[in-house]
C-alpha cells in the first residue's frame, strides 16, 4: 500500500511538460496532414454534389380591428352603423390560421405543388419549377392511387411524340403530346411547351400525395412575431428552388387574406340572404295591395279622402308605423333566438336593435364563431383554444338568449299598448263614411307593407356596402424575398469543419493511443516515476550484429555505450582502485536486453585497454553463449559444484573483442538459489577482483526470481536495464522499491532500445531466449 502511494506521489509531483506533450503529437504530423487534406477533399466533393438550400422571408402586419380604428375611405359609412369597433386579433391564433391545413392546401392547389418536374444531373436531380417544357394534367384521377407517390418518365422522340416510362425506367408506350393517356393513376395528358429544347430529352414527373406536401410545408414554414408585443409577423421558408419558396410565401399571405375576407363576409352574406328572402315575400304582398287600391278606387269612383279622414289616417299611420317597427323587431328577435337554439352559426347583423348591448353581443358572438371555425380544421376539437372558444360561445349564447327574452317581453308590452291606441283610432274611423272607411283599411295595409319594404331596402343597401368595403386582414409589409446566396451548405463553415475534423480525428487517435499506452518510452517517463539515477540510454541498433561497438564503429548505439562507459567512471570514482569493479546488470523481467547490454558494455570497457571479465550469472536462463552464437560449455555452475574446477578451466575469450574473458553460466542446475549461497561464489568474486579491472555480471531478472538479491552483496554497482516500449510504467515500482530500501547497491538505470527519432516503433524485439527483427507494416512506416 505504501509503495502505491509513493508511485502516485511521484507521478503527481511532476508538472506537465508542454513541449513534451506537443512532441507526442508532432511525431505523427504526416497523419495530421493526410487527414486534413482528406477532409478538405471530402468537403469539396460534398459541396460539389449537394443541392444548395435557399431561404426566403416575408413580413406582414395583422390588422388590429380594435385599436386601428377605421380608414378614411370607410369613415363615410360609419353613420350607417355597419362598421363597428371590433376586437383585437390574437397574434398566436393568426399564426395557427396561417399554418392551418386549410390555408396551405389552397396554396398547394393554387401553385400545383404536388406535381414536380425534374431532370437528371450528373449525380443529383434538378427541379424545373416554372421552367419545365412539359406540363402534366390529370383529366380524371383514380382514387385508389390518389394517396400514393409515383414517378413517370417522359422521353422525347420528336416534337410531337414521346415515350412514357414507369419509375423503374421500363418502357410503357408511345404517345402524342396532348393525347389522353389511361393508366392506373387515372387519365392524364402531357403538353409540350413551344420553346422546347432538345438539350434534355428525358424528364421526370413526380406526383406526390397532397397530404404529405401539406404536412411538409406546415413543418418547414416558420412564422413568428418580430417581438413579444408586436402584431408584425415574419414568415420564412427554406428550399432548394428560390423562386418556388418565394411563390409559396406570397401565395400563403394571399390565401390567408382571401380566407379572412371570406370569413368577414359570412355575416353580411347571411344578413343579405335573410333580407332578400323577406323582400321577395313583401314585394309580392305589396304588389297585390297596390292592385287592390287601384281596383277599389275604380270600382267606387273614389278620388280622395276629406281633411278629417286625412287627420285620422295620419294618426293611424303613425301608430301603424310604430306597430310595424315593433312587430318587425319582435319577429327578428324571435328569429335570432330560434337560430341560437339550433346551432352555432353566425347571425345577421345591422337589423336595427335599439339595445346596443344586444348588437354588441351578436357581433362578439359572430367573431367567436368565426374564430372557432378558422381554428377547428387544424387544431381539432380537443385543442385548448377550441375548448376555450366553445366555453365562451356557450356563455355568450346564454347571455344573448336571456337578453333577447327580455327584449321580447318589452316589445310585446309595447305592441299591446300600440294595439290599444289603434282601437281608439278605429273607433274614430267607424264614424267615417263607408266608402272612405273601406279605403282607409286598404291604405293602412298598403302603408304597413310599404314601410316594411322601405326598411328592408335600406338594410339591404347597408349590407351591400359592407360586402363591398371588406378589407384584407393582413397588411403586406415586405413581399417574399430570397437571397441568391444559399444558406446551406455554407462553404466556409464546411471547409472549416472539414479541416477541424481532419485534425481532430488523428489527434483523438493519438490521444487515446497515448492514454491507453502504459509502456515506457523515454528518459522522462523514468524521471517522472522514479528518483533513481539515470546512467544513459541505448538507441535501437539497425544492424544484425550482436556486438555493436568496436574500434571503428560510429553508430548511435556504439556512441551510447561509450557515453555509459564514461558515466560509469564518474559513478565509481570512489571505489578501491586496487581491486576490480563488479558491475551487476539486472532488469525487472526477461526480454529487456540484459545480455545485449552486458556483452556490449564489456566490449566498450575492453576498448579502453582495461582487462574485463563477463560472467553469466543467470543460472536459470543462460543467454551469453546463445547470444554470441557459440556452443555451450562449462561455466559458473561447474565451478561452484566442483571444487577441483578452477576459474581458468571455465573462462574463455572470443577473437572479436580483445582484453575480454567470458565465463558462461554452464549447465542449468536444479537448485540455482541454493547454489548461489555457497562459498565458492564468494571465492569466485574475490579471485576475479584481483585479476580484472572490471567484472560485468549478467544476472537474473529481480521480479521473477531471488537469485540476483542473493549475490547483490558482491556488487560495486547495479545497472538496472529498462527496455523502452516494452516495460509497463507500473512495473517501475519494482526498481523504485529496491532503490528506496537499498537492496541493490549503487543502483542506476539504463534505458535500452530507444529511438533517436521518436519514442515509438522499435525495430528489435527482445525475448528472454531470442533476438529477432520486427517487420514494419505499411501504416507503421507512416509513423
361 to 90, 261, 291, 366, 687: CA distances (angstroms): 19, 21, 42, 9, 127
Cα distance between residue 665 and residue 633, in whole Å: 8
pLDDT at 576 over 70: no
Over residues 541-564, mean pLDDT: 84
If you write DSSP's letter for every residue of 305-342 in order, what string do you get?
--HHHHHHHHHHHHHHHHHHHHHHHHHHHHHHHHHHHH
**Residue for cell digits 418547414?**
220
Residue-level pLDDT at 762: 34
Give the residue among 565, 535, 541, 568 at the shortest CA–CA distance from 553. 541
Of 157-166, 228-237, 350-359, 538-547, the one with minimum mean pLDDT is 350-359
What does 664-697 look like in DSSP terms, one character per residue? ---SPPS-HHHHHTSHHHHHHHHHHHHH-SEEEE
Q: What is the structure's pLDDT at 582?
A: 94
Residue 565: Cβ within 10 Å count: 19
Quickly tell me which residue has 542446475 as its cell: 669
At 9 the pLDDT is 45
Instruction: Indicate whether 3 pLDDT > 50.
Output: no
Predicted local distance difference test score (pLDDT) of residue 436: 57
Mean predicted confidence (pLDDT) in 401-424 = 78
**Measuring CA to CA, which residue among 454, 458, 429, 457 is closest to residue 319?**
429
Q: Is the pLDDT of residue 200 over 70?
A: yes
Mean pLDDT is lowest, of 47-56, 136-145, 601-610, 695-704, for: 136-145
Mean pLDDT to the nearest integer, 199-203: 77
Q: Cell for 713?
A: 552483496
Task: State what percent of residues in the chain have pLDDT above 90.
Answer: 21
Q: What is the pLDDT of residue 760?
A: 40
Question: Which 3-state string (H, E, C) describes 347-416?
Answer: CCCCCCCCCHHHHHHHHHHHHHHHHHHHHHHHHCCCCHHHHHHHHHHHHHHHHHHHHHHHHHHHHHHHHH
Kindly state the helix (H) or strand (E) to which residue 733 belongs, with its residue range.
helix 733-740
Helix axis angle, 356-379 to 101-111, nearest 10°: 70
**Selection from 199-203, 316-320, 484-488, 747-751 with the highest mean pLDDT:** 747-751
Q: How far apart are CA 688 and CA 572, in angstroms?
A: 18
pTM for this predicted structure: 0.56
Q: Name the grid cell of 508.
A: 483523438
Per residue in 306-343, pLDDT tens? Answer: 555 556 666 666 777 777 777 777 777 777 777 776 66
Using the predicted structure, report yes or no on whether residue 412 has a pLDDT greater than 90. Answer: no
Say how many C-beta atoms besides its own lie within 10 A of residue 67's C-beta: 12
Confidence of residue 467 (pLDDT cuts 50, 70, 90): low
What's the pLDDT score for residue 702?
A: 92
Give the residue, 463 or 678, on which the prediction is more confident.
Answer: 678
CA nearest neighbour of 444 among 455, 466, 429, 458: 429
Whole-number pLDDT of residue 508: 92
* pLDDT value at 362 more than 50: yes
* pLDDT tens sequence across 501-525: 999 999 999 889 888 888 898 888 8
Distant-in-sequence contacts of 740-744, Cβ < 8 A, 24+ apart: 740/6, 743/709, 743/712, 744/584, 744/586, 744/702, 744/708, 744/709, 744/712, 744/715, 744/718, 744/720
pLDDT at residue 566 greater than cutoff 50: yes
Q: Is 355 exposed, middle or buried (0-12, 13-18, 19+ CB in 10 A)?
A: middle
* pLDDT score for 365: 78
pLDDT of residue 752: 93
Q: What confidence score (pLDDT) does residue 722 get? A: 95
At 304 the pLDDT is: 52
Of the candidates 589, 590, 573, 593, the one whose C-alpha atom is nearest the C-alpha of residue 581 is: 573
pLDDT at 700 over 80: yes
The pLDDT value recorded for residue 167 is: 80
* Residue 156 bridge partners (DSSP): 162
**Is the pLDDT assigned to residue 14 strictly greater than 60?**
no
Using CA atoms, how far apart are residues 686 and 747, in angstroms rounded to an integer?
21
Q: How many CB atoms are located within 10 Å of the residue 149 CB? A: 13
* DSSP-derived secondary structure for 518-545: -B--SHHHHHHH--SPEEEEEEPP-S--
Q: How large is the average pLDDT for residues 715-722?
A: 94
Nearest to 370 by CA among 473, 468, 223: 473
In this predicted structure, which of 26-35, 86-95, 136-145, 764-773 has the lowest mean pLDDT? 764-773
Q: What is the pLDDT of residue 782?
A: 47
Residues 6+ apart with CB under 8 A from 779: none
Q: Are 507 and 36 in contact (CB under 8 A)?
A: no
Residue predicted with more confidence, 230 or 459:
230
Residue 251's nearest CA partner among 208, 221, 216, 212 is: 221
CA–CA dist 732, 749 (Å, integer): 11
Q: How much is the average pLDDT of 163-190?
A: 85
**What pLDDT sits at residue 719?**
95
pLDDT for 530 equals 92
Question: Which of the pair, 437 or 735, is modelled with greater confidence?
Answer: 735
Q: What are the pLDDT digits (tens) for 372-411?
A: 777 776 666 777 777 877 888 888 878 887 887 888 788 7
CA distances from residue 72 to 75, 469, 470 in whole angstroms, order as listed: 5, 12, 14
Angle at 39 between CA 36 and CA 45, to 5 degrees: 145
pLDDT of amino acid 334: 76
pLDDT band at 247 (very low <50, low <70, confident <90, very high): very high
Distance CA 448, CA 198 (A): 78
Residue 721 clears pLDDT 90, i.e. is over it: yes
Residue 458 reports pLDDT greater than 80: no
Q: 781 pLDDT exceeds 60?
A: no
* Distance between start and end Cα atoms, the chain: 39
For residue 451, the model assigns a pLDDT of: 67
User: Which residue, 241, 247, 243, is CA-closest to 126?
Assistant: 241
In SS3 terms, 478-514 reads as EEEEECCCCCECCHHHHHHHHHHHHHHHHHHHHHHHH
Q: To the nearest whole number, what is the mean pLDDT of the chain?
A: 79
| CA-based nearest residue to 510, from 760, 723, 764 | 760
Amino acid at each position: 500500500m505504501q509503495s502505491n502511494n509513493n508511485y502516485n506521489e511521484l507521478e503527481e509531483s511532476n508538472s506537465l511538460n508542454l513541449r513534451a506533450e506537443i512532441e507526442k503529437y508532432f511525431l505523427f504530423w504526416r497523419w495530421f496532414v493526410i487527414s486534413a487534406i482528406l477532409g478538405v477533399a471530402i468537403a469539396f466533393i460534398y459541396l460539389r454534389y449537394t443541392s444548395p438550400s435557399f431561404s426566403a422571408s416575408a413580413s406582414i402586419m395583422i390588422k388590429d380591428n380594435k385599436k386601428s380604428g377605421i380608414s378614411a375611405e370607410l369613415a363615410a359609412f360609419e353613420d350607417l352603423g355597419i362598421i363597428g369597433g371590433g376586437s383585437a386579433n390574437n397574434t398566436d391564433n393568426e399564426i395557427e390560421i396561417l399554418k392551418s391545413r386549410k390555408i396551405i392546401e389552397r396554396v398547394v392547389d393554387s401553385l400545383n405543388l404536388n406535381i414536380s418536374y425534374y431532370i437528371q444531373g450528373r449525380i443529383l436531380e434538378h427541379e424545373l419549377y416554372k421552367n419545365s417544357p412539359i406540363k402534366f394534367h390529370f383529366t380524371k384521377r383514380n382514387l385508389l392511387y390518389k394517396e400514393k407517390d409515383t414517378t413517370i418518365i417522359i422521353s422525347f422522340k420528336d416534337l410531337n411524340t414521346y415515350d412514357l416510362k414507369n419509375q423503374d425506367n421500363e418502357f410503357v408506350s408511345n404517345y402524342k403530346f396532348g393525347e389522353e393517356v389511361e393508366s392506373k393513376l387515372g387519365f392524364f395528358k402531357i403538353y409540350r411547351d413551344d420553346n422546347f429544347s432538345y438539350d434534355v430529352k428525358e424528364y421526370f414527373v413526380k406526383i406526390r400525395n397532397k397530404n404529405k406536401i401539406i404536412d411538409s410545408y406546415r413543418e418547414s414554414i416558420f412564422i413568428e412575431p418580430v417581438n413579444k408585443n408586436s402584431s408584425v409577423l415574419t414568415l420564412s421558408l427554406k428550399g432548394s428552388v428560390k423562386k418556388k419558396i418565394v411563390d409559396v410565401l406570397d401565395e400563403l399571405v394571399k390565401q390567408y387574406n382571401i380566407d379572412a375576407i371570406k370569413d368577414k363576409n359570412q355575416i353580411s352574406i347571411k344578413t343579405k340572404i335573410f333580407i332578400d328572402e323577406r323582400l321577395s315575400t313583401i314585394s309580392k304582398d305589396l304588389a297585390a295591395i297596390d292592385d287592390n287600391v287601384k281596383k277599389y278606387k275604380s270600382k267606387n269612383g273614389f278620388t280622395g279622402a276629406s281633411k278629417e279622414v286625412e287627420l285620422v289616417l295620419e294618426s293611424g299611420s303613425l301608430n301603424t308605423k310604430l306597430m310595424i317597427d315593433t312587430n318587425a323587431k319582435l319577429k327578428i328577435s324571435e328569429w335570432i333566438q330560434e337560430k341560437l337554439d339550433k346551432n352555432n352559426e353566425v347571425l345577421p347583423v345591422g337589423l336595427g336593435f335599439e339595445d346596443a348591448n344586444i348588437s354588441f353581443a351578436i357581433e362578439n358572438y359572430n367573431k367567436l364563431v368565426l374564430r372557432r371555425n378558422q381554428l377547428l380544421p387544424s387544431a381539432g376539437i380537443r385543442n385548448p383554444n377550441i375548448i376555450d372558444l366553445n366555453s365562451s360561445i356557450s356563455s355568450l349564447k346564454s347571455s344573448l338568449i336571456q337578453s333577447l327574452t327580455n327584449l321580447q317581453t318589452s316589445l310585446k308590452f309595447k305592441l299591446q299598448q300600440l294595439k290599444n291606441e289603434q282601437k281608439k283610432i278605429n273607433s274614430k274611423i267607424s264614424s267615417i263614411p263607408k266608402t272612405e272607411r273601406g279605403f282607409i283599411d286598404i291604405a293602412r295595409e298598403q302603408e304597413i307593407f310599404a314601410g316594411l319594404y322601405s326598411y328592408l331596402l335600406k338594410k339591404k343597401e347597408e349590407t351591400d356596402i359592407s360586402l363591398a368595403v371588406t378589407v384584407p386582414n393582413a397588411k403586406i409589409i415586405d413581399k417574399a424575398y430570397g437571397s441568391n446566396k444559399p444558406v446551406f451548405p455554407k462553404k466556409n463553415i464546411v471547409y472549416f469543419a472539414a479541416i477541424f475534423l481532419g485534425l481532430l480525428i488523428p489527434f483523438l487517435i493519438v490521444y487515446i493511443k497515448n492514454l491507453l499506452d502504459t509502456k515506457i518510452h523515454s528518459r522522462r517517463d523514468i524521471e517522472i516515476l522514479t528518483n533513481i539515477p539515470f546512467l544513459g540510454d541505448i538507441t535501437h541498433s539497425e544492424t544484425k550484429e550482436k556486438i555493436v561497438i568496436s574500434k571503428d564503429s560510429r553508430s548511435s548505439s556504439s556512441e551510447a555505450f561509450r557515453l555509459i562507459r564514461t558515466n560509469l567512471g564518474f559513478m565509481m570514482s570512489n571505489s578501491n582502485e586496487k581491486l576490480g569493479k563488479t558491475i551487476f546488470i539486472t532488469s525487472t523481467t526477461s526480454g529487456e536486453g540484459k545480455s545485449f547490454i552486458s556483452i556490449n558494455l564489456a566490449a566498450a570497457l575492453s576498448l579502453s585497454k582495461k582487462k574485463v571479465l563477463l560472467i553469466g550469472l543467470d543460472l536459470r536462463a543462460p543467454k551469453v553463449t546463445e547470444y554470441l552464437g557459440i556452443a555451450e560449455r562449462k561455466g559458473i555452475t561447474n565451478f561452484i559444484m566442483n571444487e577441483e574446477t578452477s576459474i581458468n578451466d571455465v573462462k574463455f575469450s572470443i577473437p572479436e573483442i580483445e582484453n575480454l574473458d567470458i565465463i558462461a553460466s554452464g549447465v542449468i542446475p536444479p537448485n540455482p538459489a541454493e547454489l548461489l549461497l555457497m562459498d565458492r561464489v564468494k571465492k569466485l568474486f574475490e579471485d576475479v577482483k584481483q585479476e580484472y579491472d572490471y567484472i560485468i555480471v549478467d544476472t537474473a531478472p529481480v521480479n521473477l526470481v531471488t537469485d540476483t538479491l542473493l549475490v547483490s552483496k558482491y556488487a560495486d554497482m547495479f545497472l538496472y536495464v529498462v527496455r523502452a516500449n516494452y516495460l509497463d510504467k507500473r512495473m517501475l515500482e519494482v526498481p523504485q522499491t529496491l532503490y528506496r530500501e537499498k537492496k541493490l547497491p549503487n543502483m542506476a538505470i539504463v534505458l535500452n532500445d530507444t529511438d533517436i527519432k521518436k519514442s515509438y516503433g522499435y525495430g528489435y524485439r527482445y525475448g528472454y531466449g531470442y533476438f529477432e527483427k520486427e517487420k514494419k507494416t505499411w501504416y507503421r512506416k507512416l509513423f
